[in-house]
């Protein structure tokens, strides 16, 4: 299926400082008793939000990429689906990070961790493996109490083979540096 280029502007409640970009079927219940499901969920969260994720500001687990935002408030997120990689123009951004994301369902959901998953915004795209480039902007505008700010985020996806996560650009120390890792 050819890639249909798409642009979507969203306002996402980044509760727990997180915005996830995820295959719509990544959270499908695989069965088992409650204890087994809880163990699977815990293992997934541990993988998604490990020390490397906090260092990159981007968590990665099968079927999900999670931006670690400067505020735990509603934040603007622009999502773009492209046919090929965008040029490496990082002007105006504080941090740019990449990771791979499998989207076998052909459906992408963008949500905060406490959003009601079935009604979270969805974007149709060709099934396959994508590179996700996450841009973080105006991180220094966030207030000390992390309630106010002009921080904004951009997520660009294009078809690409699996590759390790990478920090492509970082402008300076910012609001996310030094945050304690809980858990």
Q: Roughly how many angstroms between the first and final C-alpha of the chain, as a whole number?
A: 41
Burial call 54-87: b when 16+ CB within 10 Å, e when fewer: bebbbbbbebbbbbbbbbbbebebebbbbeeeee
Maximum Cα–Cα distance for the chain, whole Å? 50
Q: Which residues of the chain have pLDDT under 70?
A: 1, 28-34, 37-38, 172-183
Boundaries of every domain in the chain: 6-170
Per the rule left: phi > 0, alpha: psi between -120 and 50, beta: everything else, 48 is alpha
Over the stretch 109-151, which tens digit does the pLDDT of each residue have? 999 999 988 899 999 999 999 999 999 999 999 999 999 999 9
Instruction: Return the CATH number of the domain spanning residue range 6-170.
Output: 2.60.34.30
* Structure-token pair, residue 66: 């999670």
E strand or H helix at 51 = helix 51-56
Instruction: Supply the mean pLDDT for the chain.
Output: 89
CA dist., res. 121 & res. 108, Å (int) = 8
């Amino acid at each position: 299926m050819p890639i249909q280029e798409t642009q979507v502007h969203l306002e996402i409640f980044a509760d727990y400082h997180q915005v996830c970009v995820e295959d719509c079927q990544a959270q499908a219940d695989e069965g088992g008793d409650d204890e087994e499901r809880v163990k699977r969920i815990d293992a997934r969260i541990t993988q998604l939000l490990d020390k490397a994720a906090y260092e990159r500001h981007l968590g990665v687990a099968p079927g999900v990429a999670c931006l670690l935002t400067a505020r735990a408030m509603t934040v603007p997120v622009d999502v773009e689906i492209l046919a090929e990689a965008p040029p490496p123009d990082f002007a105006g951004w504080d941090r740019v990070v990449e990771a791979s994301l499998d989207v076998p369902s052909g459906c992408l959901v963008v949500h905060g961790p406490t959003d009601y998953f079935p009604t979270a915004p969805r974007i149709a795209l060709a099934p396959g493996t994508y590179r996700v480039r996450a841009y973080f902007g105006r991180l220094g505008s966030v207030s000390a109490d992390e309630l106010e700010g002009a921080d904004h985020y951009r997520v660009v996806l294009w078809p690409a083979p699996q590759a390790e996560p990478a920090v492509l650009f970082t402008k300076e120390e910012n609001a996310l540096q030094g945050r304690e890792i809980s858990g």
